Structure 1
């Protein structure tokens, strides 16, 4: 591939790459704008659709409100009139399935007993008519199952007393199951719940309406989900049998209902807008999802992309053709001239000339090539004149290298002898150094041991002195304890005397209580003799007798406690006497210990003085040994460096000898090369 083809290929690749980047950016911007516009348009469209759906669904259900308003007015309607009104309301809107009322017992007109088991009543006579469409006509049948707990259409408005929009449920109409929704209003009069008024829409009617909504030629798909998750219509999958909405299909539908806020989003196939719709005020919202296919936007983007690609390819072809023409005129012809000139120079013809007057890159290249040829001419002329001189110099260099090789071999032999001597010296230095290191370690160990002994002696001295002080204090405390024990002994003797006095006093009180008891007995006898007049005196005598008995018991308890206290005091006196004797012995022993401690202190101080002298001498020995160690280490390093130097000299001499041989061979080759150069230079025509 020549340079023209390479240039055209490179230009095309760069242009295509640039075009691809530009088209990608344009496509992204167009897609982003189209997506934003689509979501905005779909939001507006969703609002319109939601209004249409709300109108369609709520308009027929409003019949229930009108019915409720009429029923709340007292004495406005009778039962026959209600039947006619229900039929009129059912027929008023083709989307209505039916209308109905259910009253509490006797809540309508208080005459339920007159209508038992009649048409449109139950066996109690309650008014429960249901006007409903069946097989193209309107029939009236009684409402059934309303009293069941699961019947939300009656139980919820009765319980909450507010309007209820009942999600799809199944109910039998004319013997056939029909799925329907129901809007139910409670009938309330004077805050009392009377019954309900409601209107129904069949699920089939709702699905038919939503299926027939062909928006944007049917591209827009509508999905309607009730507040309990029941799928009324799924525009993306109209034939799907699932009746309960699953979050795995689209979580934003339930999110729109729970948050009561619009949700805009997209997936791989559609743009979606899910929004809550409220068919009746104060009821749970339903969800309406509007979906628009993304391929509608991607088709437009692809169309724009192919147009841009076609224009880009056309531009590339035109640009490539223009580049070829310009290259051929401005570059190709001049390059051919330059190539011919360089081929002649390569073949040895350096006498030709080339001229290029244009001052561009190729002109600069021509000037550089001409300057290079001139330099080559000069080099060749110098080389021709220097060839003979190079040959003579090579021969002289060969002789010099031979002499240098002999000298290097002699030096290598001397270096080997010096290296052996240095190795012996190094071995001796290592032995000395090892011995000195061992001596230093021993000195340091002795030094540390003496330092520990010094510390230990100092601690012993301190402890002995402290022990002496403690012995003196113990002696003093023991003497004080002995004195206190003496005082305690005297106090115990006094307590003994007081206890004996208490015992004697208790005996006196005991005698008094005995005499009081006798006196009370005599008083009781005299009161008995006095009869009725002495009854009060008898009560007093009885109380005195009781007090005398209590006094006797107290005296007995005091005597018992006094005897126990006296016995305890005697034991305490005995223990105090023993304590005094024990303290006397402790004082004697502590005095002996104090004297021994005073004798030990001088001996310990003398030992400390001798240890300090040994410690100082060991420190001096350790310093001397460490100095010797440092000297041996310096000698070892010097010997090691000397050994390395001799080895390096020996190796250098060997290398020098080898290099000399190599240089001798190179000089011989150089002589041959110089001869060949001379032969080659003769081929050039300068």
Structure 2
């Protein structure tokens, strides 16, 4: 051993012991060291893989949660769609078989509204051939004599009859497009006076038929404030949030009431548009104005028998997805 190596050997007892081992002993010691190193590397890899699996599992859970909310919303809306369709069929039966009777139509609106506790109002509008100028301004007829009765439910649950829908309603989306399409639809969101107060709402409408001819539209109105209030109670994975976008790209359920009926403008709008147009779910990262990082899941809400499609937007804090469980 050189003079330079001697001080090092004497100062390292492990090295000294190793030098004293037989060849077989040295081989055994080297194998043990190698196994220990491999175990340490393996443990590190397993830890990293486990972390990845936890993150992926949480992400998959969040995606399933988003899909569940979309399914729940569709189920709730489908129930209202069924009642709205039944109301239209009942009124159409009168128009076709038994003859038009204004009082009976108003009674039907009241009855179907009473059976749908989450609905704000029920209405029916008929084409001008049913106008009765001599009845203008009465309960079911507007100032031009158009038949357009409207009944609503107040906060106490009482059903009241509002003034008949004004003549300009014949040009509004909820009537004009419902008449043109001749099929069930979800109207675009709009503002309408109820009991002297402007209410944000959308309508679920169906055509009224006399035989094979479409002669009007009836519908149920749903308050956007009520819709938002219900969704705002939901906290996916404990700290998430749920919002809803209509077929025109505007918010119809949002924790900030000022955002209702405003367009989605939070980035990657093309992905939201894809959900609405093609029904393809999307997932992407979203950074809020306050710097919070969210995993955003946009899932289509498809209603049976209606072509219009919404998007439910479920945001989960990125920290909740990557946190170990």
Q: TM-score, normalised by structure 1?
A: 0.38
Q: 1:200 aligns with which of 218, 221, 226?
A: 221
Pair 145,43 (structure 1): closer, same or farther in 2 beyond 3 Å: farther
Note the C-alpha offset of 1:281: 2.3
Is residue 2:55 matched to residue 1:35? yes
Secondary structure of 2:253's aligned partner: strand
Q: 2:258 aligns with which of 241, 245, 261?
A: 241
Secondary structure of 1:199's aligned partner: strand
Note the C-alpha offset of 1:248: 1.0
Structure 1 Cα separation of the partners of residues 249 and 113 of structure 2 = 28
Pair 212,267 (structure 1): closer, same or farther in 2 beyond 3 Å: closer
Is residue 2:108 matched to residue 1:85? yes
2:90 aligns to what?
A: 70
1:227 aligns to what?
A: 247
Pair 267,156 (structure 1): closer, same or farther in 2 beyond 3 Å: closer
Note the C-alpha offset of 1:179: 0.2
1:256 aligns to what?
A: 275
Contact 2:143 2:166 (8 Å CA) reproduced: no
2:190 aligns to what?
A: 169
Map residues 233-632 of structure 1 onto 2, 5 A cutoff.
Answer: 233-234=253-254, 238-239=255-256, 241-242=258-259, 243-246=262-265, 248=267, 251-266=270-285, 269-300=293-324
Q: 2:166 aligns with which of 134, 144, 148?
A: 144
Q: 1:159 aligns with which of 177, 180, 200?
A: 180
Contact 2:225 2:257 (8 Å CA) reproduced: no
Structure 2 Cα separation of the partners of residues 145 and 33 of structure 1 = 61
Pair 19,196 (structure 1): closer, same or farther in 2 beyond 3 Å: same
2:80 aligns to what?
A: 60
> Which structure dedicates a bigger proportion of its chain to helix?
1
Structure 1 Cα separation of the partners of residues 202 and 43 of structure 2 = 53
Pair 23,255 (structure 1): closer, same or farther in 2 beyond 3 Å: farther
Contact 2:143 2:167 (8 Å CA) reproduced: no
Alignment RMSD (CA, Å) = 3.2
Contact 1:122 1:128 (8 Å CA) reproduced: yes
Structure 2 Cα separation of the partners of residues 233 and 19 of structure 1 = 53
Note the C-alpha offset of 1:122: 2.0
Instruction: Show CA shifts across 1:253-309 (max 9, x none).
Output: 2221122112234457344432111235232211112333332343317xxxxxxxx
Q: 1:4 aligns with which of 8, 12, 17?
A: 12
Tell me the matched-pair count: 287
Q: 1:103 aligns with which of 105, 126, 137?
A: 126
Note the C-alpha offset of 1:18: 8.6
Is residue 2:42 matched to residue 1:44? no
Instruction: Show CA shifts across 1:452-491 (max 9, x none).
Output: xxxxxxxxxxxxxxxxxxxxxxxxxxxxxxxxxxxxxxxx
Structure 1 Cα separation of the partners of residues 39 and 234 of structure 2 = 44
Secondary structure of 1:300's aligned partner: coil
Instruction: Show CA shifts across 1:608-638 (max 9, x none).
Output: xxxxxxxxxxxxxxxxxxxxxxxxxxxxxxx
Structure 1 Cα separation of the partners of residues 13 and 52 of structure 2 = 40
Structure 2 Cα separation of the partners of residues 169 and 80 of structure 1 = 28
1:462 aligns to what?
A: none
Higher relative contact order (CA 8 A, sep 6+): 2
Structure 2 Cα separation of the partners of residues 184 and 55 of structure 1 = 17
Unaligned ranges ≥5, structure 1: 8-16, 302-686
Structure 1 Cα separation of the partners of residues 138 and 322 of structure 2 = 67
Is residue 2:209 matched to residue 1:188? yes
Structure 2 Cα separation of the partners of residues 267 and 27 of structure 1 = 28
Pair 113,146 (structure 1): closer, same or farther in 2 beyond 3 Å: closer
Pair 231,6 (structure 1): closer, same or farther in 2 beyond 3 Å: farther
Structure 2 Cα separation of the partners of residues 292 and 172 of structure 1 = 36
Contact 2:152 2:161 (8 Å CA) reproduced: yes
Note the C-alpha offset of 1:200: 0.5
Unaligned ranges ≥5, structure 2: 1-6, 16-36, 288-292
Note the C-alpha offset of 1:20: 8.8
Instruction: Show CA shifts across 1:575-607 (max 9, x none).
Output: xxxxxxxxxxxxxxxxxxxxxxxxxxxxxxxxx
Pair 299,39 (structure 1): closer, same or farther in 2 beyond 3 Å: closer
